[in-house]
Amino acid sequence: MPALRSLTPFFVFAGAFAVIALAVTNSYYQLMMTLVLVWATFGLSWNVLSGYTGLVSFGHAAFFGIGAYTTALGQIYFDLTPWLLIPVAAVFGAVAGLLIGFPTFRLRGVYFALSMLAYPLALLYVFEWLGYQEVTLPMKRETPAAYMQFSDHRIYTLLALALLSVIVLVTRMVEQSRFGMALLSIKQNEAAAEAAGIDTLKWKLYAVTLSGAIAGAVGAFYAVVLLVVTPVSVFGMLVSAQALTVTLFGGVGTVWGPVIGAAILIPTAEILHAELGHIVPGIQNVIYGLAIVVLILVAPEGMFWKARDFAYRRWPHLVAAPPDATVHQSATCGPPLAAHAPVPSSAGAPLLSVRGLSVSFGGLKAVQDVSFDAARGTILGIIGPNGAGKTTVFNLLTGFLRPDAGQIVFDGRNVTRRKPHELCAAGIGRTFQIMRPFARMSVADNVVVGAYVRASTDAEARRLAADAMARVGLADYAHRIAGELTTRELRLMELARALASQPILLLLDETLAGLGHGEADELIAIIRRLAHAGITIVIIEHTMQAMVRLVDRFVVLDHGAVLVEGKPETVTRDPRVIEAYLGKKWTAYAQS
Amino acid sequence: MTAQMVENFLQAAVAGLLVGAIYGLMCVALALIFGVMRVINFAQGDFMMLGMYAAYYFFAALGVQAALGSTLGPYVAAVLAGPVLFCVGYVVHKTLIGQVSGTRAQVEGDGHFAQLILTLGISLILQSAGLIAFGSILVSVRTPLSSSAWEIGPLWGDLISVFVNKSRGISAIISVATIVALTVLIGRSRLGKSLRAAADNPEAATYMGIDVDQAHRIAFALGIGITAIAGGLLATNYPFSPFVGLEYVIIMYAGVVLGGLGSIIGPFWGGMTIGLVQQLSTLVLPTQLQNTAIFVVFLLIVFFMPQGFFGRSVERS
């Protein structure tokens, strides 16, 4: 299992840590070692949500504090043991994650980040008001082990190590599954992820639930180790900041980041505190802060990524290929699927039928009363000058915008006002005018994300992706990083990503834009092949030239309304079209 | 409803409006930085703390009190803190924040993470250095005005009268005046145009010959300077220590999220809302839950009006 193989370095680290921990008898250093592991685990919890989805949370102390108070109050009021309360705290953390995530995911970017800030701080004051300013866990002298109380501090370190190992394992499995891919694609480009059929809200909720569960468990364990819980020490700003600091310092989006960050930062802070704190109070934090500032200027992406990039440049042959490359090899070698020919469910009726579609932004009627049909197996071209509303029509068709009026019937079903990922699942694939690659993922991974909507297993998704790449001639590019591709290759990759979802209707938004003549011809040939294979295609272009040779019918838009509809040869001669493109004075000239 | 309740309500509302004006100024300063640079500055509250101490030392040690007396002096000191912190902000951006933001930021990927942790580090340094330099004892800028008030009323036949604390009243007026000046600067001047262009589309602005990094630097410095003025005004009414920043940075961000980033006036109303909620909540809730009330109202508004009061920003929902 690749997830386990790649964990060898971690288990070596864990083993070494355990050996050192057993050798250390000084209880102060022992506590420090425990805390390194606690904050590393907390960092991993933050990483599951924020590192993978890119939605930065400033409020992870909410989950941490709920966990800590669960153990403290559960032991005081119900005499329960932490062995039971830590899992309970994880459940509470998960529930809190779900409750917080559901409303807060309505916000994006920085608004999300800042709103998260509010939860732990609101809880902080509530717990103060409830009179839990300082809660001490009762000592159990008769049965200490049953209440997770040990006089030998090494046991806490080993327990923390066990907790960390479990969480690393979980994170690793997430990272390499469909779950992790969905999160990464959300981080790279949420709109493209939706269009690729990923239910972004669902995956984000899974992520925050898992993240909350981990943070709750860590907070519970922290209370057991320190025996005293105060609102500020578990709900405070600095707790949330700690999760960010260790993760960002170590490296975002990798299990190693929080571990490295915590292993360096926690001892540094403690030693500075012990050595300098009594000489000039405050100087330890100045130095600590300076260390963070300097390191982030040197390695803005975090220690792990900096070190990895350095190693790649220095010893390219020693460092293994990117961890996921091996996984794809077998997939891309598999036999390509037979041409995909959908069975027409109600032959004769158009596959896509649009009636009276309208939407306005403020006072601007971007699309007004647009109606057209796309017959099965045909290529429909939507053309029109800049600002005619072509892309808006696509956004309406794919659920990114909701129409004010009108109806969209696809494959005999009314799909008006559905969400993008639902439409993708129904069989509508799309590409974007401004390309939206998942820039830091490999070409193969980009395409695999598109296949998930149709595949029930990871292996099947890889097979669909390999097939889609073969169909557009990208098979040799599978391992390249999307950010390095040329315009032509990116266009092909977006096409493959859309194809991987096995669409029966493919919407192409200015797929030919920015391509040279030869490149455009290549793409046109591919599009023709797809149409022959039975996929219905609607393509937007604003130049007519290339399209005339490709499409079966044209819809010409101007000022948000349909100007003309018909066969290419009639449309290109229509005076209204010439006027829309060139202005009135050319009409006579063009017709002569 | 008794006259006493009406009076309490009016008194709390007036207190909310006055402190809300200063909060509004803080929010405007933060929104200026965030709106132009897209950098979340965690150290904003700590820069404000520096502004408070700058005003304090201008007043007590650098002769403002001696020259102008205790009535006018604190306000002059507060305004003087602005230019000093403007310079501090300029240098901090040039040496630190500009290194990982603006045109030097990575185009995509994790660029903004570096800015976050950088400002967290700066915040830690400022707090701890403040502790070393200024000590942990609470200080304040003393003015006789903070213990005297204008009386409005008696209204409704001697039943109700509302007191407006003179010091807070003057602080609120200076806040509003600062915002008006800023609005004119941003709206009318060449500098303002380049800031707006850099905020709107950094790439296009670069092609138009605008030095985007310099525009960011000015915006950052201006934001820090204005925060310092707000801090100086606050210092006349509230005692402070080097750790005061944490308390206010949350209010600032809440106000900015409420008001949205589309305009200067939006964040001002956001800050005003926070001030009003904070003061009015004391009528029905224990003082300890004042801040919880702020966050609850904040979350409610954010969820039901995700666009903010004046927001036109696409990225929020």
User: Are A252 and B34 within 8 A, CB to CB?
Assistant: no
| Predicted local distance difference test score (pLDDT) of residue A5 | 61
User: Are B316 and A107 within 8 A, CB to CB?
Assistant: yes
Assign B244 a pLDDT band (cuts: 50, 70, 90).
Answer: confident
Please give, rounded to a whole number of angstroms, the shortest distance from the CA of A137 to a CA of chain B. Answer: 25
Given a contact cutoff of 8 angstroms between Cβ atoms, the answer to whether A392 and A359 are in contact is yes
Instruction: Round to whole Å and give the CA distance between B296 and A31.
Output: 37
| Predicted local distance difference test score (pLDDT) of residue A292 | 80
Please give, rounded to a whole number of angstroms, the shortest distance from the CA of B130 to a CA of chain A. Answer: 9
Q: What would the two tokens of residue B45 be?
A: 């509250």
Assign B111 a pLDDT band (cuts: 50, 70, 90).
Answer: low
| Predicted local distance difference test score (pLDDT) of residue A326 | 33
| β A553-558/A379-383 pair status | parallel
User: Are B125 and A128 within 8 A, CB to CB?
Assistant: no
Per-residue pLDDT of B118-131, as tens digits, reads 888 898 899 889 98
A343 pLDDT above the threshold of 50: no
| Predicted local distance difference test score (pLDDT) of residue A545 | 73
Nearest CA in chain A to B259: A111
- What's the start-to-end Cα distance of chain B, in Å? 41
Of A184-188, A359-363, A543-547, B100-104, give the range with the top mean pLDDT. Answer: A184-188
**Cross-chain CB nearest to B128 (options A106, A108, A285):** A285
Nearest CA in chain A to B125: A286
Chain B neighbours among A 551-590 (CB < 8 Å)?
none
Assign A318 a pLDDT band (cuts: 50, 70, 90).
Answer: low
Residues on chain B touching A114 (C-beta within 8 angstroms): 40, 253-254, 256-257
| β A352-361/A561-566 pair status | unpaired
**Closest to B295 (Cα-Cα) out of A134, A91, A59:** A59
User: Are B121 and A237 within 8 A, CB to CB?
Assistant: no
User: Are A122 and B288 within 8 A, CB to CB?
Assistant: no
A115 touches chain B (CB under 8 A): yes
**Closest to A400 (Cα-Cα) out of A106, A194, A109:** A194
Q: What is the mean pLDDT of residues A91-118?
A: 86
Q: What is the mean pLDDT of residues A311-317?
A: 70
Q: What is the mean pLDDT of residues B28-42?
A: 85
Per-residue pLDDT of A536-566, as tens digits, reads 889 888 767 777 878 888 888 888 888 888 8
Q: Where is pLDDT greater, at B302 or A351?
A: A351
Exposure b/e, A102-141, CB count within 10 A at least 16 = b: eebbebbbbbbbbbbbbbbbbbbbbbbbeebeebebeeee
Residues on chain B touching A300 (C-beta within 8 angstroms): 100, 106, 110-111, 113-114
Please give, rounded to a whole number of angstroms, the shortest distance from the CA of A449 to a CA of chain B. Answer: 18
Q: What is the mean pLDDT of residues B212-238?
A: 90
Per-residue pLDDT of A240-272, as tens digits, reads 888 888 888 888 878 888 999 898 888 888 888
**Cross-chain CB nearest to A115 (options B109, B257, B286):** B257
Assign A72 a pLDDT band (cuts: 50, 70, 90).
Answer: very high
**Cross-chain CB nearest to A115 (options B288, B291, B302):** B302
| Predicted local distance difference test score (pLDDT) of residue A63 | 95
Peptide bond into A342 cis (omega under 30): no
Q: What is the mean pLDDT of residues B186-194?
A: 81
Please give, rounded to a whole number of angstroms, the shortest distance from the CA of B282 to a CA of chain A. Answer: 14
**Cross-chain CB nearest to B125 (options A252, A290, A440):** A290
B-interface mutation test, from A245, A286, A438, most B Cβ less than 10 A away: A286
Nearest CA in chain B to A51: B110
User: Are A282 and B286 within 8 A, CB to CB?
Assistant: no
Q: Which amino acid is at B142?
A: R
pTM above 0.90, yes or no: no
**Closest to B92 (Cα-Cα) out of B231, B222, B246:** B222
Our CA angle for B264, B267, B271, nearest 5°, is: 140
Assign B202 a pLDDT band (cuts: 50, 70, 90).
Answer: confident
| Predicted local distance difference test score (pLDDT) of residue A68 | 95
User: Are B106 and A125 within 8 A, CB to CB?
Assistant: no
* % residues pLDDT > 90 (chain B): 22
Assign A327 a pLDDT band (cuts: 50, 70, 90).
Answer: very low
**Closest to A13 (Cα-Cα) out of A38, A44, A31, A37:** A37
| Predicted local distance difference test score (pLDDT) of residue A328 | 34
Q: Where is pLDDT greater, at B217 or B1?
A: B217
User: Are A113 and B40 within 8 A, CB to CB?
Assistant: yes
**Cross-chain CB nearest to A440 (options B109, B116, B316):** B109
Given a contact cutoff of 8 angstroms between Cβ atoms, the answer to whether A243 and A212 are in contact is no
Nearest CA in chain B to A105: B317
User: Are B117 and A244 within 8 A, CB to CB?
Assistant: yes
Assign A583 a pLDDT band (cuts: 50, 70, 90).
Answer: low
Q: Where is pLDDT greater, at A457 or A30?
A: A30
* % residues pLDDT > 70 (chain B): 91
Q: What would the two tokens of residue B155 be?
A: 């209204």
**Cross-chain CB nearest to A237 (options B111, B122, B246):** B246
Per-residue pLDDT of A189-199, as tens digits, reads 788 788 778 88
User: Are A285 and B106 within 8 A, CB to CB?
Assistant: no
User: Are A109 and B117 within 8 A, CB to CB?
Assistant: no
| Predicted local distance difference test score (pLDDT) of residue B316 | 38
Q: Where is pLDDT greater, at A91 or A426?
A: A91
Q: Is A557 helix (H, G, I), strand (E, B) or coil?
A: strand
B-interface mutation test, from A112, A114, A239, A264, most B Cβ less than 10 A away: A114
* % residues pLDDT > 70 (chain A): 91
**Cross-chain CB nearest to A292 (options B121, B302, B316):** B121
Strands (E), A175-331: 228-229
B107 pLDDT above the threshold of 60: no
Number of structural domains (chain B) is: 1
Please give, rounded to a whole number of angstroms, the shortest distance from the CA of B90 to a CA of chain A. Answer: 17
* % residues pLDDT > 90 (chain A): 16
Per-residue pLDDT of B260-299, as tens digits, reads 776 778 889 989 999 999 889 888 888 778 878 888 888 7
Given a contact cutoff of 8 angstroms between Cβ atoms, the answer to whether B221 and B89 are in contact is yes
ipTM above 0.90, yes or no: no
User: Are A296 and B121 within 8 A, CB to CB?
Assistant: yes
- Domain of residue B220 covers 3-316
Assign A590 a pLDDT band (cuts: 50, 70, 90).
Answer: low
| β A505-509/A536-541 pair status | parallel
**Closest to A111 (Cα-Cα) out of A48, A58, A65, A51:** A58
| Predicted local distance difference test score (pLDDT) of residue A204 | 92
| Predicted local distance difference test score (pLDDT) of residue B160 | 75
User: Are A110 and B38 within 8 A, CB to CB?
Assistant: yes
| Predicted local distance difference test score (pLDDT) of residue A580 | 75
**Closest to B168 (Cα-Cα) out of B4, B23, B305:** B23
Mean pLDDT of chain B, nearest integer: 82
Q: What are chain A's domains?
A: 2-236 (no CATH), 352-591 (3.40.50.300)
A469 pLDDT above the threshold of 90: no
| Predicted local distance difference test score (pLDDT) of residue B223 | 92
CA distances for A380 relative to A292, A370, A406, A551, B172, angstroms: 57, 15, 20, 6, 63
| Predicted local distance difference test score (pLDDT) of residue B85 | 93
- Cβ-Cβ contacts under 8 Å for B260 (sequence gap 6 or more): B266, B267, B270, B307, B308, B309, B310, B311, B312, B313, B316
Residues on chain B touching A245 (C-beta within 8 angstroms): 117, 120
Given a contact cutoff of 8 angstroms between Cβ atoms, the answer to whether B186 and B198 are in contact is no
B315 pLDDT above the threshold of 70: no
CA distances for A532 relative to A143, A344, A467, A494, A555, angstroms: 76, 14, 17, 20, 21
A396 pLDDT above the threshold of 90: no
Instruction: Round to whole Å and give the CA distance between A419 and A401.
Output: 9
Q: What is the mean pLDDT of residues B150-154?
A: 75
Mean pLDDT of chain A, nearest integer: 82
